[in-house]
Chain A
């Protein structure tokens, strides 16, 4: 009798444990789905199963590039929409970003090479700007201008790039580039320093070559 009671108790315990496991599994799947949803809105690095460098996967690829209108260094508003019909490389960089300084000369060369065929670059600085303090804001803007001059950037340099962070899937790491085709659709995205040939390949993709 006593043994039967123990066995019955254990069986009930097992049933309760499995019920709990089922519930926990449901919760787990819900949380995992939320994480997937969150990562779908933000870009992420995905490991290469072959052991190569991780690939940056952006939720923007295949979608229209989020519209924006930002100030350039002269204070004029520059919108992405004004480049419709051109292939555009949107390159997020910052004065403090060392790898940005390595890839910028490549981008300048490629812009000079393909510019006549309807290709343009928008260099968007992600440097923090203190708009509440006019003096500091002026100094920060000067620093961006000096850095752009030092790198001989011939294309428009826009400021306040951090305001586009959410729209462009998170700009937590730099450099970050988005390649937009002549119809305004993002055809490729890159995070981090890659190579000139990879940048060129994406430019050709945006140009439909």
Chain B
């Protein structure tokens, strides 16, 4: 009899604990999604290159589902192009960046106007030259994102890469 009481008590305690955890998760979940950016840097986190020599690093990014960002060459003069910048004084110089060609996108209410955008995943080839040593580069990706009906203000994402020049 006592054994049954014990089992029921343990199950009840487990259910109560589960309910509390679920509530906490629900509250936390509501606040976190709004702060997420539209572009996520995927990889690489670390690269090793020959010091003083030109090298190519392929930086991979993902655009949030349902969103797009302008390509490096948008078709409208006022739209903000996606650009990559390396800060000065890090021991790694960005000599040039090669951007992918954008895909075509049109808003449903204006199918005739095609925009040049990046969606899903894309990569930028950074042509760099690194000094000897270990350099944590915090590059900046400037972009402006929209979905099917609205646009977010221009944003800058940090692209952190550990560059080892040997």
Answer whether A96 and B79 are a contact pair too, CB < 8 Å, given A4-B2, A6-B6.
Answer: yes
Q: Is the CB of B13 within 8 A of A17?
A: yes
Complex Cα spacing A192 to B144, Å: 15
Complex Cα spacing A90 to B24, Å: 40
Size bin of chain B's contact surface: 35 or more
Q: Is the CB of B78 within 8 A of A147?
A: yes
The reply on B154 being an interface residue by CB < 8 A is: yes
A-B contact count (CB 8 A): 99
Q: Which residue on A lies nearest to B20, using beta carbons? A: A24
- CB neighbours (8 Å) of A48 from chain B are none
Answer whether A96 and B151 are a contact pair too, CB < 8 Å, given A32-B27, A35-B31, A102-B109.
Answer: yes
Q: Which residue on B lies nearest to A194, using beta carbons? A: B149
Mask of B149-166 contacts with A, CB within 8 angstroms, 1/0: 111111000000000000
The count of chain A contact residues (Cβ–Cβ below 8 Å) is 43
Q: Is the CB of B150 within 8 A of A28?
A: no
- CB neighbours (8 Å) of B17 from chain A are 17, 21
Residues of A within 8 A of B (CB): 3-4, 6-7, 10-11, 13-14, 17-18, 20-21, 24-25, 28, 31-32, 35, 53, 94-102, 126, 128, 143, 146-147, 150, 172-175, 191-195
